[in-house]
Structure 1
Amino acid sequence: MTNSRYTVADVMTTTVVTVTPDAGFKEIVAAMTQWQVAAVPVIEGEGRVVGVISEADLLAKEEFHRHRPGMIEQMRRLDDTAKAGSTHARELMTAPAVTVHADATLPQAARLMAGRRVKRLPVVDNRDVLKGIVSRADLLKVFLRSDDDLASEVRREVVDRLFPVSHHGVRVDVEDGVVTLSGTIRDSSLIPVAERLAHTVEGVVAVNCALTGP
């Protein structure tokens, strides 16, 4: 019922630090250090994302700097040992990159991050051209919405639509993101529906439902 869904476009960062496939190891480290980022998309041509380099991709070189892995360890950690000897982005990057589109919902982006075990996603268009980047911290921005903003949306998208006749008898209070619904409605069977829909409003932390029937 609620239709004001936040998407990746609402929370993503549009200024993105990137490198090209030919970027050298030191250039990559310098870019991450200068801009204080933990990962950079690798782009080619007009901005098409071909991979991502994270701090984890670079740490293998430090890990194996003085430690030469044995054959068993090499076989078990082929990717890491290969990256330890790499010097350019095309060899260091994780490819293909796990990406997301700007119109994806925040739960969709969160599930993708969790499922693929990544901390950030390059945001691309239908041609895989970079449009931004979204991190786990970005997905939490919706919880910074003001209580007044949340109360207005819960009333507009849940109470007014679900209870077109008795909505004036419903009170919506929000404190620190926790919504409290109280008052009397005509159809008590809709109480659990109201509670469930209030939970779906982006930025709501919890819902206390104190609605009663006639």
Structure 2
Amino acid sequence: MHAKDIMSTPAHTVRADAPVAAAVELLERQSITAAPVVDDRDVLVGLVTERDLLRQAAAGSDTAPGAALRRVRDVMSGLPVSAWPDADVSDLAAVMVRQDAHTIPVVEDHHVVGVVSRCDVLRTLLPTDAAAQREAQHRLDVYANGQRRWRVTVDSAVATVDGGFDDDTERVVVEALVRTAAGVTSVRATTP
């Protein structure tokens, strides 16, 4: 699995020359803990995190004269660890641990195309039954052109597919789609 498979997109970015208040509003509105910072050409130049903003507030600089004029570039972290869309998820996990990174922007041609968080990586590498069930159900719904032809449940990594099949080929395809969902170790298909 690759960064492009798990990244949040579109990435919510903030401009380096935006007021600090714009970064706070973005993090709050999107319920995220960090946002890539871009220049006027949309090229990645930094990352602004809750920690950066709290550091500014704790230093009292938000009440100092001229605080309203502070820009994101004044408080952001420097150029962050970034990844390309085809980066392997296990490599991202290793980088996150080694660099203590919580958020990694995914960049293509210097432009941010997505963001991978620690939660995204955890869901992929250590999937729960609920996450495996959501992924498997989504795959089947897409395969059935948005229809809910089958219902998937996952318990202890074993997926059960309820619903009828047009033929044996369709059963094999459905079972393969479910079996390859992260967190599924085996599949049982039942028919009404």
Which residue does the alignment assign to 1:15?
A: 10
> Structure 2: how far apart are the matches of 1:176 and 1:105?
26
Alignment equivalent of 2:132, drawn from 145, 152, 173: 145
Aligned partners of 1:44, 1:98: CA distance in 2, in Å? 17
Task: State the Cα deviation string for residues 49-83 of structure 1 (Å, max 9, x = none).
Answer: 110000100112221229xxxxxxxxxxxxxxxxx
Q: Does 1:29 align with 2:24?
A: yes
Distance in 1 between residues matched to 2:155 and 2:25, nearest whole Å: 44
For residues 19 and 42 of structure 1, the distance between their equivalents in structure 2, rounded to whole angstroms, comes to: 5
Q: Distance in 1 between matches of 2:27 and 2:156?
A: 35
- Taking structure 2 as the reference length, the TM-score comes to 0.62
Deviation sequence 1:126-154 (CA, Å, 0-9, x none): x22111001111113332334xx7xxxxx
Alignment correspondent of 1:134? 116
Gaps of 5+ in 1: 1-5, 67-83, 150-173, 179-200, 207-214
In structure 2, the residue matched to 1:96 is 79
Counterpart-to-counterpart distance in 1, 2:59 and 2:68: 9
Amino acid of the residue matched to residue 65 of structure 1?
Answer: G
Distance between the aligned counterparts of 1:177 and 1:135, measured in 2? 24
Task: Give the TM-score normalised by the residue count of structure 1.
Answer: 0.56
User: Could you list the runs of 5+ residues in structure 2 that have no partner in the other structure?
Assistant: 62-66, 137-153, 159-179, 186-192
Residue type at the aligned position of 1:203: A
RMSD between aligned residues? 3.0
Distance 1:140 1:202 in 2: 15
1:47 maps to: 42
- Aligned residues of 2:132 and 2:184 also touching (Cα < 8 A): no
Q: How many residues align structurally?
A: 138
Cα–Cα, structure 1 residues 141 and 32, in superposed 2: closer, same or farther, change >3 Å? Answer: same
Q: Give aligned-pair identity as a percent.
A: 27
Check conservation: 1:99, 1:121, Cα contact below 8 A. Answer: yes
Superposed CA deviations along residues 66-108 of structure 1, whole A, max 9, x for unmatched, are 9xxxxxxxxxxxxxxxxx9982111211111210111011100
CA offset at residue 27 of structure 1? 1.6
- Please list every run of at least 4 consecutive aligned residues from structure 1 whose deviation after the TM superposition is greater than 4 angstroms: none
Match of 2:182 among 190, 194, 203: 203
Q: Report the equivalent of 2:101.
A: 118
Give the deviation of 1:9 after TM superposition: 0.8
Distance 1:90 1:112, change over 3 A: same
